[in-house]
């Protein structure tokens, strides 16, 4: 199945109405200088991936949060009639401002993100309490119900002349309570899936959450027909969590959980991927070609990392590993430049501000220690410049992905496909991508600084034939499971589920 064949998609969709529900949508609207409505396409791997689903289901309606003022105007103009843009049908949902803030800034990004990536310093944090409960009840749950309400309203508006039960594909950790709210509104016949794009920890990890949230999330997810993840191990952890927190029947081998109401819930892994064509096109674009000049000016071999400055990305230990490698192998001085593309992220969360500082301190420390007149060991680049990232993807000799934990890490896939140097991938065993790519990468334990130093050295001095062999295998692996296969696998399972459950 290739991108040239977007209409083939099993027979699941011929008479179904498909809804994609996610917090961020495919477009954001704004007002141009002369007052006309403009839009920009959403960035990020999830939007690209969901576009692949939407392309296969041309009637699909995409429901997302109104983010900008102009988004809110669009939402008010057509609260249930999809707005057509870029060949997509979009419904934007206006949320209560305070509720959205509580959901996003109090519940999803600090609490759920931290729990699911195991980022808490547990002797001290979190300190949960009544504020948490309020953020849950008056924020998270309300916003998620608001999404369900928008789906129900849109469905009702198109009711006449459209046959078949709806298929609703809900996405990610901001929307865990939406399946329950959908089931209450649409009844047993609607097909609902929820895709979790971040790690799903083992049951004990979930014990950090207050019981109302822990049980609330699980009960809601078991109102879906399919709960989906990027890896087999997240899927298995989910089955165990459901069994241990709710005491429901669950078959770990088959990936089936029986909800309290008797529904069979399929728990599946669909490793998300990329559209290689998109990156090939991008790689040839003028903007990227221009940025390549900057990248090629960097002395020596190119060691690259590209990450948001997130606590889960392990950026500081990466610099310490590089430092140790230079200490132990002084012959590497001036022979390599570490380009660290680190985008600012969630700067208003204190833990993130502190982490951004720690990153900059580590860079200064390493540079002060090793720099020469003609050589800066680490170039820290924090600008928002996607063409520069793609230019660096094309040219790296070594790519470091050493995340403490990462749902998938799509950068590993994007960069490998764009790379033209048989670059070596160093990959954390705790990145979701490791299930697919680990075999052809240099695997590291993200907590072991010396192991990472050794891997850097090995990668930077690897013989050409081994580089070529590994790079070829990595690219083959990614091309055999692109975003098209990702969408296809889910649509096939939907068809199979409906076949089985009539």
Instruction: Note the residues at the interface with a copy of itself (CB under 8 A).
Output: 118-124, 126-130, 132-133, 201-205, 207-208, 210-211, 237, 311-312, 314, 316-317, 320, 324, 355, 358, 404, 429-430, 445, 447-451, 453
- The distance between the two most distant Cα atoms of the chain, rounded to a whole number of Å, is 73
The three-state secondary structure class of 484 is helix
Burial class of residue 250 (count of CB atoms within 10 Å of its CB; 0-12, 13-18, 19+): buried
Strands (E), 154-229: 166-171, 191-195, 226-229
CB of 295 to a copy of itself, least distance (A): 28
Nearest-angstrom CA–CA distance, 284 and 450: 38
Closest CA to 246 of 228, 260, 265: 260
What does DSSP assign to residue 340?
E
CB of 131 to a copy of itself, least distance (A): 8
Report the residue number, 119 or 256, with the smaller CB distance to a copy of itself.
Answer: 119
Nearest-angstrom CA–CA distance, 156 and 55: 23
CB of 211 to a copy of itself, least distance (A): 7
Report the residue number, 253 or 297, with the smaller CB distance to a copy of itself.
Answer: 253
| Placement of tokens 């990227």 in the chain | 288
CB of 247 to a copy of itself, least distance (A): 14
Burial class of residue 263 (count of CB atoms within 10 Å of its CB; 0-12, 13-18, 19+): middle
Report the residue number, 175 or 321, with the smaller CB distance to a copy of itself.
Answer: 321
CB of 362 to a copy of itself, least distance (A): 11
CB of 321 to a copy of itself, least distance (A): 9
Report the residue number, 243 or 341, with the smaller CB distance to a copy of itself.
Answer: 243
Report the residue number, 193 or 314, with the smaller CB distance to a copy of itself.
Answer: 314
Report the residue number, 27 or 208, with the smaller CB distance to a copy of itself.
Answer: 208
Report the residue number, 280 or 450, with the smaller CB distance to a copy of itself.
Answer: 450
Other CB atoms within a 10 A radius of the CB of residue 475 amount to: 17
Nearest-angstrom CA–CA distance, 287 and 296: 15
Q: Are 318 and 449 in contact (CB under 8 A)?
A: no
Strands (E), 186-249: 191-195, 226-229
């Amino acid at each position: 199945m290739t991108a040239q064949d977007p209409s083939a998609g099993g027979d699941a969709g011929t008479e179904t109405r498909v809804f994609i529900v996610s917090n961020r949508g495919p477009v954001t609207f704004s007002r141009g200088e002369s007052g006309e409505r403009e839009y920009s396409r959403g960035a990020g791997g999830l939007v690209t991936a969901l576009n692949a689903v939407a392309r296969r289901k041309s009637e699909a309606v995409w429901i997302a949060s109104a983010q900008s003022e102009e988004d809110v105007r669009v939402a008010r103009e057509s609260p249930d009639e999809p707005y057509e843009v870029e060949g997509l049908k979009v419904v934007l949902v206006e949320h209560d401002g305070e509720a959205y803030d509580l959901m996003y800034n109090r519940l999803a990004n600090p609490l759920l993100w931290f729990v699911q990536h195991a980022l808490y310093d547990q002797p001290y944090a979190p300190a949960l309490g009544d504020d948490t409960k309020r953020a849950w009840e008056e924020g998270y749950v309300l916003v998620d119900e608001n999404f369900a309400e928008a789906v129900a309203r849109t469905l009702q508006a198109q009711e006449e002349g459209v046959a078949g039960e709806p298929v609703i594909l809900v996405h990610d950790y901001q929307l865990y309570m939406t399946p329950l709210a959908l089931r209450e509104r649409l009844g047993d016949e609607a097909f609902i899936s929820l895709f979790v794009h971040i790690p799903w920890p083992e049951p004990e990890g979930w014990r950090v959450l207050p019981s109302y949230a822990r049980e609330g999330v699980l009960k809601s997810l078991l109102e879906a027909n399919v709960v989906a993840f990027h890896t087999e191990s997240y899927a298995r952890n989910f089955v165990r969590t459901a069994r241990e927190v709710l005491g429901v029947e669950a078959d770990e081998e088959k990936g089936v959980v029986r909800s309290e109401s008797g529904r069979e819930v399929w728990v599946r892994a669909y490793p998300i991927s990329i559209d290689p064509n998109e990156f090939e096109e991008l790689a040839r674009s003028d903007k990227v070609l221009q940025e390549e000049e900057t990248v090629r000016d960097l002395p020596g071999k190119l060691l690259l990392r590209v990450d948001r400055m997130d606590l889960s990305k392990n950026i500081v230990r990466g610099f310490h590993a590089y430092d140790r490698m230079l200490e132990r192998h002084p012959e590497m001085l001036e022979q390599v430049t570490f380009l660290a593309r680190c985008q600012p992220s969630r700067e208003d969360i204190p833990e993130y501000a502190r982490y951004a500082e720690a990153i900059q301190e580590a860079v200064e420390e390493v540079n002060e220690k090793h720099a020469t007149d003609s050589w800066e060991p680490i170039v820290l680049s924090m600008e928002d410049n996607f063409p520069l990232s793609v230019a660096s993807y094309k040219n790296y000799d070594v790519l470091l992905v050493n995340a403490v934990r990462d749902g998938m890490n799509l950068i590993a896939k994007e960069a490998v496909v764009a790379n033209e140097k048989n670059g070596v991938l160093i990959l954390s065993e705790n990145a979701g991508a490791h299930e697919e790519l680990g075999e052809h990468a240099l695997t590291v334990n993200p907590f072991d600084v010396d192991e990472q130093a050794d891997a850097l050295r090995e990668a930077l001095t690897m013989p050409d034939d081994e580089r070529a062999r590994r790079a070829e295998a990595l690219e083959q692996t990614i091309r055999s499971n692109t975003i098209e296969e990702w969408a296809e696998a889910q649509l096939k399972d939907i068809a199979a589920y409906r076949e089985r459950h009539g």
